[in-house]
Every structure is written in C-alpha cells, then in structure tokens.
Structure 1
Amino acid sequence: MTAITLLTGIPRSGTTLCCKLLSQNKTTLALHEPLDPQVITSTELNASIHEISQRIMAIRDAVQSSKPIPLGDKDNYLVDNPVGYSQQHHGVRALSSVRGTTTIPLNNDLELLVIKQNALFTALSSHLIAHYPLIAIIRNPVDVLLSWMTVDLPVNKGRLPAGEKFDKHLASLLQQEDDVLQRQLIIYDWFIDKFKHSALECIKYEEIVATNGKALYDAIGITQPNPAELRAPQRNFAPSLIERLNNCVPQLEALAIKAGYSPAIISKQLEFLSCQNCS
C-alpha cells in the first residue's frame, strides 16, 4: 500500500517546487493541491478531519488506478511555480496554474504519495498529524512578504480564505485589522504559531536551495536522485514595497526569530534588495 505524507508551508515559500523535486524520485509522487479547501463541506473539527481523510484516500486510490484526480494545475502535475512571471497591473503577477482534473500516469513503483496544501493543512495541523506525517516549509519573512505583495492571491490583500474558514480566531484577527501589511504580518505569525504548536518539522526554503534539495529529501526520508543545482530566483521589487518593510523592521525581526532565523537576515535582505534596484 502506498504510504501518504502531507506537506504544508507558508504560501510562496517553495512548497510547490518541493513537490516537483520530490517527484523526481521514481517511487514518490508529490501533488500540488489536489484538495480544494472550499469543497470541504464541514467546518466542525472531527467531521472536517474525517472528510479530508476520505478525500485523501480517494486521491490515493485514483492515483494507483490512473483515474482522473483534481489538481491545483490541470495541465502540469509537476508544476514548480503556480504564479507566472509576467506582471499585470501595479506589478502584480497573475496565476498561471488553472485548477482542474487530470490523470497521472500509472506508476507501479510508487511507494509514497505526498499531498501538498498550505492553509488547510496548517489550520488543522494539530489534528492531522495524529493521522499522517506532516512536514512544513518556511521562508524568511522579507522574501515571503514581498512575494505576497506582488502576486494575485488572497494574501496580496492580507486574507487567507482556507485558514479563516477553519480557524475563526484568525478570521477575527484579520477582520479587525484594516491595514493590509499588518494583516499579512498576522498571517505569517499564524503559520509559525501553528507549526510550533503542532510540533511540525520545519524545513527552511533557504536550506533546501543551499543543499540542492538534500534537506528536503532527508526530511521526507527518501533517496535523492541526481541532484541538480538550485538557485533562488532573483527579482527586483519596487522601492516603495521595500520601504514599507523597512518601516516595520522590528516586527519582521520578531517574526524571523520566532521562525528560527537570525534577526539580522531582515536588514541584510532588505539592504540586498535595495542595492539590486540601484544596480
């Protein structure tokens, strides 16, 4: 029977890339968001966990028999970035992935199925971990926040629909805050708090890149095939966005410490990005 591991993480921290990397092992298949949080019918805890488990089993059965399954991108089950690189209005990048149904080629060597979902699995992490191995991907606050500011996703407006659906306290905090950046800081903090409360193993995106994926494979417990060099993409951000983060450095440093980073990473990264704009 194919084993199951769940993968979660902060949005825009490289979780989709992790799916592509893990699927390079011929005995592993990692899927990009086959569960749509909005179709989970119950928000009552036990009923939600039961329904999610049923859907996970149905996905595994469909994969093992090469039947159609829902995915976050119907055209490419090995997508490494669901957001396109072309900018739309005001520098916001649009989604390139389109949710739909696809059929995964039959793999008789499949031993491990990894299912990735960020907000949903995080909101219910303390209960899901009693049923499945659950691993989280994190990234430093500066890169995460700047990405949120420039992608056409709910976090761009400081909202997290799946998290709010299953965590009413988060929904209340976001509802009470008018400032978008402050809501984004609340969301980042919420993810870290959930990971710590559930005692999840957290893997830093930066370590995955620095080790060419080895940190990820070691955490999952599978063999890494022929590692290729990984590089974090370099992007230029509008000076106004960098300045917004410069205005809340103490909050960002506190989040960095909570996430297990040195607070020095905040000023260092902001300075680096500012210098990129000058070059």
Structure 2
Amino acid sequence: MKNKRSFFLSSFTILAFSACNKTDYLDVNAGERPALSANIRFVNARTENTAIQFWTFTQKVTTNALLPGTASPYVATTYGNVQINFTEGSGTAYRASRQFGNSATYSATGGPNGPIAGYYHTVFAAPTKNDAAKDTLLLFYDELSAPAAGKAKLRFVHLAAGIGNVTLKLEQAGTETTLYNNIPYGSAGGSNLKGSAYDSAPFTNVNAGTISLVVSAVEGGTPLPVQGQGLSNIALEAGKIYTVYIRKDGKGLINAGVIAQ
C-alpha cells in the first residue's frame, strides 16, 4: 500500500511539474511576442475634391474621412496578402481596390509587395498612370529612423498621371543639387526595382531649413509647372521626415502635396 501511495504521489508531482512548465512556456512577456499587425498610413492624393475612407478587405480602418492632400495617422492593420479599398464620403461602394502581396508581378489589381508585420507603410489613393479620371492604390515601405543631426529626411513620389519619368532637384541657400534622376510614375525617387518588387522607397537626408524643389521631365529637361506655391519655400524642420508628391488633375494641372511624418 505504501508503494502504491508513493507511486501516485510521484505521478502527481510529475504531472504538476509538467503543467507548471506548460504554463511558464505560454506566459511569454508581451514585449517579446512577434508583431501581429502592419502599420499603414493612408494618403488621399486624388484630384477629386471628395473625402475618402480606407478599408482592408471589408473592415474600415480610417476613423475620419481624408480630404485631398491629407494623411491618416499610422493604423495597425492586417499584413501579408491584403486587399485595400477606399470609398467616398459615407458611401460603401469601393471606388478602387487593389490586392497587395498576392502576385509575382504588378498589375492594375494586384502586386507583390504586401504589408509586413511590425513594419511601417504608406498607401496612396491616386490617379492612375495614364488617366487622371481613374483611381489606383500604391503601397510604399517607410523607413523611419531619425535623420542625421541638423537634418530632415525627404522622399519624393511621382503620382502625376500622363507625365513621363522625371528628375528632382533641390534648391537651398543658392545651391542646386540633383536628388533623384529618372523617376517613373508610381515610384519614389531612389527606389530600386529588383525583379518585379520594390525593395524600398527611401528617404534622403537633407539640410533642415527652407528649400524649393524643381521637377523636370527627363525628356528635354523642361521644368514642370506646379500650381500655387507648389514646391517652393518648403520649411523642413530638423529631426522630421517628409514625403512630397506630385499629381495631375483632369484639367492637366500639376499639383503638389507635402506630408510630414
């Protein structure tokens, strides 16, 4: 009887120890868990004067409708193979949809670069390459490390429908510098195409202060007429990160937008 009691006690001890180990194994510190969402900032770069809402699949992810030229805060969303859509105002009909991460190559409806868990991204709603009256969605990866001391970081995105490849020059304190050459529509200056996927949409460190940007058509080198203040006298603060983009409306006028991180 004593041996049986010892056996049962030993078995209970082993089971209790195993259960304790299992609990310890599952009790992972929250800070050590892998990220379970991607972070996306949404930008309305359309030419229509209508506010829009963004969705991943059938879930609305923007809290407030975005007016043209405005951006949302970063939103924790689905990652991997993701369909992103947008609607106008309080409507529920998708004005444009695109699947990211579902294809080996780019098409009008899909592409290879899906949102990555734990990373930051910007998605633009913008005019399509050849028709400013139609809409598309474009996704870029955001690298948000701090600028160098006394610098700001700058990225330029070409969203002007019907405009060929462009060159971007920066003017500051009487000095002109070429930042990017040969930027195609739907791309950020300095992006590298590897196969059919962008490896990055990089930012460039530039001196903080007031700058002007000149966008020129690669063919002929003619500066593009950007409306209003456009790309002149842009104030860059040290330590901040900026995305500048151009678009062309249905009347053929080129406009610019500046989004600070």
- What TM-score do you get using the length of structure 1 for normalisation? 0.23
TM-score scaled by length of structure 2:
0.24
Q: Which has the higher contact order (CA 8 A, sep 6+)?
A: 1
- Greater share of strand residues, 1 or 2? 2
